Chain A
Amino acid sequence: MAFSLDTNCGLLNHNIIGPIYCTSTIFPPDILITQFWFNYRHVANTLSVYRSVKRLGIPDSHIVLMLADDMACNYRNPKPATVFSHKNMEFNVYGDDVEVDYRGYEVTVENFLTPRSKRLLSDDRSNILIYLTGQTGNSHGGNGFLKFQDSEEISNMELADAFEQMWQKRRYNELLFIIDTCQGASMYERFYSPNLMALASSQVGEDSLSHQPDLAIGVHLMDKYTFYLLEFLEEVHPASQANMNDLVSVCAHRVSVSPGHHTDLFQRNPGSVLITDFFGSVRKVEITKDTINLTSSVKSGSGDMQIESLTYVDQLPVAEIIHQKPKQKDWHPPDGFILGLWTLILLVFFQTYGIKHLKHIF
């Protein structure tokens, strides 16, 4: 007996029956790399992008989320299990079904560039979105690198080489790289692989600013660029026709710093690239009206029934434990009787063989 699929679909979810949307598999890693409570805003940044991406249809299996420190369940957080992006605690971006792939000490340069486990199996038809937020070298000379956990760093050359490797191995079709840090534009200066588009929150020599503090939580909640990015993304829905030019201009005129973008390596015209190509995904569903016969489940009856009654193991078998090891006897110095016996034997020896041998002993 088998279910016919359209019966299921028709009753449960009307969105499935309908036109088939064009898919591209999309893999966005979201990465946050700074620690400590005062970097709360970086977590809020990353989680807001994560939320938008999930809302627009990308499943958790296609998202790698790296958070270097735990803000939601940090003891300093006055409202545990929440991360807010708007002041007065309006908008909880942490939600109820977040899945963090790399957290705490696992967020390292090595795991970012060459993960040994929990990796995205992208292929040459995948569009990849990479969002990085954290702290770079400050304006006092030190651009071109991004700090990981205050102890490591990744340089813009390493990033460019990593993307080139991905291109050589045909691991992506198009890649969108967004970075929200000070001097973010320095990170994409060295890119040389094709089909890369990069957006940054600030130019070289400029600082990226944070947006609003919240007096109850005590720290700044979001960075300005990501705040406006989130506002923009909230208006995007899976069938939206908004394109990359809208995204690039999202923060241009409202704040004092000027975001940068790098579209030279991108082969298509940014005006023709839809936002949902990177941020959202619709999966292809084929409806069929054929019924499928399922074979009955294999009766995995254990042919030989164990006749003897099974028992639970004793949790603390004291006698068995004590006799597990042979008892080691302590060494005692010889007591009086043994000493006396040996003295007697020696005396008899010297009496028999003469006292002159005694000098050989002492």
Chain B
Amino acid sequence: MIQETHSDTIVASPVYTRYIYIKKKKRLVASHFCRLPLSVVELFKVGESFTAAARDQFQEELVIRPLHSGDIYASFQFRTLWDTDFLQERQKVSHYRLFPKSLGQVLSKFSVRELHISFTQGFWRTMQWGQPFIPSPPGAELWVWFHDTVSDVDGNWKELTNVLSGIFCASLNFIDLTNTVQPSASFKPLGLGNATDHRFLRYATLPREIVCTENLTPWKKLLPCGSKAGLSVLLKSEKLFHSSFHSQAVHIRPVCQDEQCTSKAWELRQTLNVVFDLYTSGQGKKEWSLFKMFSRTLTEACPLATSSKVYVDITDNPELFELSPATPLLSQAVVLGDRRTYSVFDLTRAEMFGQLRSLNLLLRWKGDSDMLRPLLHAERYVAGFGLQTGEIHTVIYNNHPYRAFPVLLMDSVPWYLQLYIHTLTVTSKSRDNKPSYIHYQPAKDRHRPHLLEMLIQLPPHSMTEVTVQFERALLKWTEYTPDPNHGFYVGSSVVSALVPSMVAMNTNFTQDQPLFSSFVPVKEESSYFVRVYTEPLLVNLPTPDFSMPYNVICLTCTVVAVGYGSFYNLLTRTFQVDEPSLPLAKRLANLIRRIRGVPLLA
């Protein structure tokens, strides 16, 4: 597909399409800033002053966190902040610089207030890896808040999913009313705003969606520097997909432009989380480097970025940890309820890259230390036997020693698993736990899935189990997928909670806060918001034998042909006596006898 670039659009001329080559190359000029001769640099600067009115900025960041199991977690965040208003009716935005035009047009056409889309391969193991910076469920997930001027939210949603499916090369066009829900309390907007009328929220998930290079390619094309400069040179698909967990997401929302928060700016965050396995990628040694993880090293920062940093988490066992090249820059940040120390590598400083103009970080650590148990953890499984009934169990663990906190559990079950809500039980510590808020919207066959939302208070240091029984429906034979024996997927449950924090969280919003700590807005110091996704379920539905119509037709035709055919023959066949033909000698003799007039032989 044609990628609209971020460079100056010379659209005044009617031969617009012919300039595509020119435009693409201009972007490459920007990215190879350092290497071009001086005359070109001046040319570019002249261009810069022309666009001095542009109020967009771009920041990129990579956080590397060694995990206790020996794996390593890398989280990329690319943020474009743009002070403009897409939803203004008076003038259409037509001048795009760092913000990708395809997404800008989507936002203005469908009056989108917030858009969150993620593609994930693998499942995040909270108990082994801790909490991710940005959680996501396996498969594809899309949730959108529309502006309150929209009159037909469902129509906009349908068109939006089709457009996004083309932009990201994913099968998002399978999102329709049978797997879209409208949560009533979960998924509050992460951006600025006052009104939260849930009629304008839509949420859908496709657990079966596969993520591969064809999804990464358009995602990389949305970045201002593409995959040519900065941190995005590390994003090589052969290494990224050979990992235990890979998730790429796009989050668009309105945020505060500055610390006083008097005006809005649009923020586009592209995040990529990947966990490399110790044995498949690391060859069993707790020794990681950028080259080993990504098969590339860093050569320069993106010239269009105002800040380009690499953070390495060195909080755990600082004596046994070895990081090279050493850097004196340290930074502390409170993230996910914990105060962590990071070594900072600022890529905008040329001395980072040394003589060889390449930066390859090396991390080595020995020994094991105890991991802090994550405070909130959830699991889900299907119990029962046979192909008629079953039971869904969702188990939520609260590992805090003395504090209880409420969680909001949202379950969206497809219509072909018919839930019996009268069998819903919530038990904590083997006692009944009544939720303080239940919202249930029953499914309508082939129209709407089940939606169950509950606000449950989790007692400290406990396990809460939510069970509900269901019956499997028999689908019409055209509704089965080409491989129905694989099973049907049920999307992950979402558990949203305000978890008590051990360290005071930072409620002030500062411009130079690292990106990974400023994703979720923090309203109070004593708790932080976290979202945990459970496993998706794979459920077998009673599957008919698809060769039966053919068998039936063959059998019926045979029976009809043999039975009716013989009967018809018996009724309508007439018998005639057939005289046997005489041998030649007797025929001659008969001929002679006829001449003689004598009676003939038999």
Flag whether A82 is at the interface (Cβ < 8 A). yes
Q: B269: shortest Cβ distance to chain A, in Å?
A: 15
Chain A residues closer than 8 Å to B498, beta-carbon distance: 315-316, 318
Contacts A1-B46, A73-B212, A81-B213; is A310 near B261 (CB within 8 Å)?
yes
Q: Are B15 and A286 in contact (CB under 8 A)?
A: yes
Contacts A80-B242, A310-B261, A316-B498; is A98 near B217 (CB within 8 Å)?
yes
Flag whether B543 is at the interface (Cβ < 8 A). no
Q: Are B85 and A325 in contact (CB under 8 A)?
A: no
Q: Are A5 and B22 in contact (CB under 8 A)?
A: yes
Question: A1-49: which residues lie under 8 A (CB-CB) from chain B?
Answer: 1-3, 5, 7-9, 11-13, 16, 35
Q: B237: shortest Cβ distance to chain A, in Å?
A: 4
Q: B426: shortest Cβ distance to chain A, in Å?
A: 16
Flag whether B210 is at the interface (Cβ < 8 A). yes
- Checking B47, B237, B263 against A3 with a beta-carbon cut-off of 8 angstroms, the contacting residue is B47
Flag whether B173 is at the interface (Cβ < 8 A). yes
- Checking A35, A104, A150, A313 against B189 with a beta-carbon cut-off of 8 angstroms, the contacting residue is A313
Q: Are A12 and B29 in contact (CB under 8 A)?
A: yes
- Checking A150, A297, A300, A310 against B256 with a beta-carbon cut-off of 8 angstroms, the contacting residue is A310
Q: B171: shortest Cβ distance to chain A, in Å?
A: 5
Q: B24: shortest Cβ distance to chain A, in Å?
A: 9
Q: A3: shortest Cβ distance to chain B, in Å?
A: 7
Flag whether A100 is at the interface (Cβ < 8 A). yes
Q: Are B439 and A104 in contact (CB under 8 A)?
A: no
**8 closest A-B pairs (Cβ-Cβ)?**
A312-B521, A73-B212, A12-B25, A81-B241, A149-B482, A80-B241, A315-B529, A151-B482
- What are 16 A-B contacts defined by CB distance under 8 Å? A8-B22, A60-B1, A70-B210, A72-B241, A99-B218, A101-B166, A106-B173, A117-B173, A150-B482, A151-B482, A294-B10, A294-B12, A297-B54, A310-B262, A315-B190, A325-B439
Q: Are A82 and B218 in contact (CB under 8 A)?
A: no
Flag whether B575 is at the interface (Cβ < 8 A). no
Q: Is the interface of B mostly helix, strand, loop or mixed?
A: loop
Name B436's closest neighbour in chain A (CB-CB).
A322
- Checking A96, A300, A321 against B408 with a beta-carbon cut-off of 8 angstroms, the contacting residue is A321
Residue among A8, A59, A285 with most chain B CB within 10 A: A8
Q: Are B25 and A13 in contact (CB under 8 A)?
A: yes
Flag whether B573 is at the interface (Cβ < 8 A). no
Residue among B193, B237, B263, B437 with most chain A CB within 10 A: B237
Contacts A118-B166, A315-B523; is A300 near B212 (CB within 8 Å)?
no
Question: B136-181: which residues lie under 8 A (CB-CB) from chain A?
Answer: 162, 165-166, 169, 171, 173-174
Flag whether A302 is at the interface (Cβ < 8 A). yes
Chain B residues closer than 8 Å to A106, beta-carbon distance: 171, 173-174
Question: B549-575: which residues lie under 8 A (CB-CB) from chain A?
Answer: none
Q: A205: shortest Cβ distance to chain B, in Å?
A: 24
Q: Chain B, interface size: which category?
A: 35 or more
Residue among A12, A94, A105, A317 with most chain B CB within 10 A: A12
Q: Are A79 and B238 in contact (CB under 8 A)?
A: yes
Flag whether B184 is at the interface (Cβ < 8 A). yes
Q: Are A297 and B51 in contact (CB under 8 A)?
A: yes
From B87-95, B295-303, B585-593, give the one contacting chain A.
B87-95
Chain A residues closer than 8 Å to B213, beta-carbon distance: 72-73, 81, 94-98
> Interface size of A by Cβ–Cβ distance < 8 Å?
68
Q: Are B521 and A302 in contact (CB under 8 A)?
A: no
Q: Are B50 and A1 in contact (CB under 8 A)?
A: yes
The interface bits of chain B over 1-38 (1 if a CB of A lies within 8 angstroms of the residue's CB, else 0) are: 11000001010110100111110011011000000100
The interface bits of chain A over 98-123 (1 if a CB of B lies within 8 angstroms of the residue's CB, else 0) are: 11110111100000000001100000
Q: Are A322 and B174 in contact (CB under 8 A)?
A: no
Flag whether B417 is at the interface (Cβ < 8 A). no
Name A74's closest neighbour in chain B (CB-CB).
B210
Q: B519: shortest Cβ distance to chain A, in Å?
A: 12
Cα distance, A316 to B500, chains bound together (Å): 13
Q: A285: shortest Cβ distance to chain B, in Å?
A: 6
Q: B361: shortest Cβ distance to chain A, in Å?
A: 23
Question: B217-262: which residues lie under 8 A (CB-CB) from chain A?
Answer: 217-218, 236-238, 240-242, 256, 260-262
Q: B330: shortest Cβ distance to chain A, in Å?
A: 29
Flag whether A298 is at the interface (Cβ < 8 A). yes
Chain A residues closer than 8 Å to B497, beta-carbon distance: 316
Contacts A35-B482, A73-B211; is A302 near B263 (CB within 8 Å)?
yes
Cα distance, A106 to B173, chains bound together (Å): 9
Q: Are B184 and A305 in contact (CB under 8 A)?
A: no
Name A70's closest neighbour in chain B (CB-CB).
B210
Q: Are B237 and A311 in contact (CB under 8 A)?
A: no
Q: B472: shortest Cβ distance to chain A, in Å?
A: 21
Flag whether A283 is at the interface (Cβ < 8 A). yes
Chain B residues closer than 8 Å to A316, beta-carbon distance: 188, 406, 408, 496-498, 529
Chain B residues closer than 8 Å to A286, beta-carbon distance: 15, 18
Q: A123: shortest Cβ distance to chain B, in Å?
A: 14
Chain A residues closer than 8 Å to B93, beta-carbon distance: 300
Chain A residues closer than 8 Å to B371, beta-carbon distance: none
